[in-house]
Amino acid sequence: MSDEETEKNIEHLVGDSCTKNNSDNACNLKFDYKIRFPHSMEAQIRRMRLSLEGCKELVLKIYSVLLWEKHWHSTAIIGGSTILFMLIWLCDPNVLTIISLLGLLFTVCDYVLPSIVSTLYKNEQWTPNKQKQLEDICTNIVLYKTKTELLLTSFYKMRVSNSKVYFSVTIITLSLLAWIGGSFNNLFLTYMATTFVLLIPGMSSSGMLNKWSDSLQKVFTDLVENAKSKVGQKKVE
């Protein structure tokens, strides 16, 4: 399946159901499994669901925390991230040690967690509602992964279709990142980026991201209109 066909499937899945009808029921159709996914996406969803089968109960718990289903979840995320990076700052390990410890942690968890989860949660406690939640999680992950790949592909296509914009955006972005990296502590930047990424699902679920994007869009629109009015006044003069 080509990129164009995949992109049309994604746009139809994510956007059309909400734009054609503003009701909540219509918006919820984007996760209706009667909608047919591209075969590659269906395979990815199935593989992810099978890979999470051993610790599916833990996945649901983590997902509920990331979505801030309780008021203290956002505080717990910020507190946990702060404690982790404070320990790294106090121990001051080198990059190779951090990578090795992370790999060791993931390996041990991959080996031990399925046994612990199967002991704590029996198969009888698994309900169809939980199965639906797990499928929603896998579908959301694959959808956002596919949308990110399409976005990157579209950006790289600009190298041919609109090379000036491509190189301008790339050079400005990399220069800005280089300036930020040279102006602030790397560990602090990693802490801020990690915490922000962990908070994104909850902010999106609570509507905070939409409010911020609307505010930024309004400010940008006002700036553009003011600039156009000043240019028009100078031309009149």
Which tens digits make up the pLDDT trace of 175-188? 999 999 888 888 99
| pLDDT band, very low/low/confident/very high, at 36 (cuts 50, 70, 90) | low
The residue behind tokens 């990424």 is: 197
d(C-alpha 120, C-alpha 222), whole Å:
56
Quick one: pLDDT at residue 29? 40
Quick one: pLDDT at residue 23? 43
Q: What is the mean pLDDT of residues 11-20?
A: 45
Which tens digits make up the pLDDT trace of 103-149? 999 999 888 888 888 888 887 788 888 888 888 888 888 888 888 88
Most confidently modeled range among 4-13, 95-104, 110-119: 95-104
The residue behind tokens 């047919």 is: 36
Q: Which of 87-91, 195-199, 213-217 has the lowest mean pLDDT?
A: 213-217
pLDDT at 26 exceeding the cut of 80: no
Quick one: pLDDT at residue 212? 82
